[in-house]
Structure 1
Amino acid sequence: MDENVKKINSILVNLFNMVLKLEEKAIKESTRRDLSLTELHTLVAIGEGKAKTMSQVAASLKISVSTLTTAVNRLVKKGYAHRFRIPEDRRIVKVELTEIGIEAVREHEAFHTVMISEAISQIPEDQIGKFIDSIDNINEYLLMRKHPPARTPGPFTMKPLKLGRIFVPVPLFQGALSIGLSKSRLASAVAKEGGVGIIAASKIGYQEHDFQENPVEANKRVLRQEIKKALDLTIDCKERGPIGVNIMWSSHHCEEYVKAAVSAGAELIVCGGGIPTKLPAYCRDKKVALVPIVSSKRAANIIIRNWTKKYNRTPDGFIFQGPLAGGYLGIKESQMEAAAEDFYKNIADIKGELEDLGDCPLIVCGGIYTRSDAEKAYAYGADGFQLGTRFVTTQECDASEAFKQAYLNCREQDITIITSPEGFPGRVIENQCVPRVSKEPWRIMEGLLNASRGDLEHGLIFCGGKIHKAEKIETVADIFREFTEGACQ
């Protein structure tokens, strides 16, 4: 064994054992001597806030519900947890922390904070970023080892793909950046490079004079204008990619926006924010590609079966959204940790679900920031990649300079999670607006609109989980060059 390998192996083993010993020592020296380390970790998994189902906690701990039941029985008896059945469905058992349970968790978190803070205090500040990246790379590798790659080992390639009848020269998609961040300027720049330029429909008409009185008409009007403008800007490009629109399925006016987009010449419709079971009914023109966004194999299966049975049509492609995506996620906050661990497995599972559809590409997003990220996803079956956060800090992005600077200034510890009124998590940059919308979730849209208008003091800034990697303003061409150099066929 190479000396460096031996040393790293020894350090990792010692670190693991040492942290466990320090945790056990901290418990013995605290007022929580009646807790075992396993019980304490169970309390952490239950967590503060809303009660969780037993299956959610078990999944977080990666144990069976029966094993968890034994641990929870002890915690309930000791007064650290409260277990109950919900009135709406007596079959569902939930568990939550009591006051002393919350105190125990907070003491444990404080212990970890002090331990890590003291440990990294020995590292020069200008090397902290590299240290985090190194640990993150090891963690990423271990996650990949958990699930062997689906593809036969070989060189990374960026092959052209087809979404139904739509040809995509370079399988790089620009994510929908709302509100008003991805319009014709950015979408056309991406399409000129051969990728898929996307215009985000959500509240796109927010600057119109009649937006307050008639938001739907304002949105449709601007949506049509931006699509036509993007198509005009790319009309002379021989190898251009398509111009598409991202529309939230959860929007009350989804059908109207789809029809407005198609009438203006949109070449594909990307639809997320729910399971778009009726999307083919809104767009019967098969020259327009329909691409749903999913967070699981199950969601993909539901869409395939539903569309096949009701409309004799299958999706022209799928976008799998991983848990590091910006904006709202299609999973609950309690599922985020498990989703991160199963990210590569989910890529392979969804890809397997699409095999019988023939030419139905799988596009992966949510954690794709660098070419290295794309190469890892490619190994598990990704045919293309969607980037959102990375495109914000481009010269062509329609965001204000202040908005872009907020991205450049963001550190990893500045990222936090808010919850929508519907209960879905969204990743944002911590600022003065976050505490307000956390208490009043119905004000989230107001915060997003403020940010789009340049009022960052009262604005909410959505971001992806790798925003802290943004270091400079670059061009769309720079990004395509990084991803395609030596990889395009």
Structure 2
Amino acid sequence: MDINGKKLEHGIIQGGMGVGVSLSELAGNVAKEGCMGVISSVNIGYKESDFYKNPLEANLRALKNHIKRAKEIAGGKGLIGVNIMVAVSHYEETVKAAIEAGADAIISGSGLPLKLAGLVKGSKTLYAPIVSSKRAAALLLKTFAKRENSVPDFIVIEGHQAGGHLGFSADDLENDTCQDNLTILKEVLEVVKTFEEQFKKKIRVFLGGGVFTGKDMAEAIKNGADGVQIGTRFIATNECDAADTFKEVLVEAKEEDVKIIKSPVGMPARAVYTPLLKKLDMGDKFFAKKCNNCLTACPKGDKIPYCISRALISAVEGNKEEGLFFCGENVSRIKEIVSVHNLVEELLKDCQS
């Protein structure tokens, strides 16, 4: 598959998962299989010695190092992307650092990445917004076209079964009234077609959020997608950057353990119902001793019951008691931890059968 001059052997994007879940080890090994490995930029420098003193410098330094290392692991195969949330502080600096480090693509969601086309302009880096509706796709494409005379190289659709922060209302998620993936795909493709004709450029579309098997991938492609984005299944791999305890929490999770929660930044999110969430439901609060100002939308301080950054870092380090474990709706279907190679091989085999 050609994406505006860059080659992708297989139409699989590994979803960007933070904090620290998808770094260079996972992204590099996914790319090594001919897919797109994606590094999550959010608080990527949490292991740096100066993270709490100089979070911006630590994050930008770590991001550049992880992109370099991921490319070394990939050995020239696949593509290395970076997922950069619009909601993070220093969004523009982070995008520019990823481009400078040679990222093949920037994928951006958790808000509308209205400035993304302008930030990548003149570089060799592909860009892609994450959308959850026809409306968001139309708004972004119109904005990019008007402001920069540009359209994205590809688009990632995240359906309501995705993990982490979600682009749907809490009411729709709780009442199961969200649009289904294939309906969103059909509507987004209609929007894309108009801009493809206007700019005479192919805009690839990848469907994510609940994609679990190769048969799901085949169904998405049958309905017009160029490929899929898969997140949660890649956590349960040997190469995932998260601690083994994180992976075990997901493997052991049952369907009833998965809950929709309200993130401190005000967005609904999906996670495993672990001790932290149980304590929060009982009224406990966990204030951060020091705020890194990592998310622009976070009210900060004692206005929130807990620091999401600290909770996500605790999870990736394997702390079951204090960690927040984001996951997709289908996490209970994961039964074992496998290698990236075997997972990709399984997906492709089932897609073709």
Return closer, same or farther for 1:441/1:315 CA change in 2, 3 Å cut-off.
farther
Q: Is the 1:166–1:287 contact (alpha carbons within 8 Å) kept by the matching residues of 2? A: no
Distance 1:481 1:453 in 2: 28
The question of 1:264 aligning with 2:101 is answered yes
CA contact (8 A) 1:437 1:443 kept: no
Following TM superposition, by how much is the alpha carbon of 1:340 offset from its aligned partner in structure 2, in angstroms?
Answer: 4.0
Match of 1:291 in 2: 128
Secondary structure of the 1:466 match is: helix
Selected match of 1:246 from 83, 86, 111: 83
Structure 1 residues 85-484: aligned runs within 5 Å:
160=1, 162-235=2-75, 237=76, 240-336=77-173, 337=175, 340-356=178-194, 357=196, 358-437=201-280, 440-484=304-348
Instruction: Using the TM superposition, name which of 469-478 and 445-454 deviates more.
Output: 445-454
Q: CA deviation at 1:286?
A: 4.3
| 4+ residue segments displaced more than 6 Å | none
What letter corresponds to residue 449 of structure 1 in structure 2?
A: I
Number of residue pairs the alignment of both structures matches: 325
Residues of 2 paired with 1:479 and 1:207: CA distance? 28
Q: CA deviation at 1:284?
A: 1.6
Q: Which runs of 5+ in 2 are unaligned?
A: 284-303
1:162-197, Cα deviation, whole Å (9 max, x unpaired): 332322111100001111111111111111111001
SS in 2 for 1:377: helix
Of Structure 1 and Structure 2, the greater helix share is in 1
Q: How far 1:449 moved relative to its partner? A: 1.5
Question: Which residue matches 1:130?
Answer: none
Q: Residues 339 and 198 (structure 1 numbering): CA distance in 2 closer, same or farther, change over 3 Å?
A: farther
What's the CA shift for 1:421?
Answer: 3.2
Supply the AA of the counterpart residue of 1:242: L
CA RMSD of aligned residues (A): 1.6
Distance across 1 between alignment mates of 2:176 and 2:147: 33
Shift of 1:341: 4.5
CA gap of 1:312–1:339, structure 2 versus 1, over 3 A, is farther
Separation in 1 of the partners of 2:187 and 2:177?
A: 13
Kept after mapping to 1: 8 A contact 2:134/2:188: yes
Structure with max Cα Rg:
1
Offset at residue 351 of structure 1 (A): 1.2
Q: Percent identity?
A: 36
Q: Is the 8 A contact 1:420 1:441 kept in 2?
A: no
**Alignment CA distance shift 1:339-1:254 (3 Å):** farther
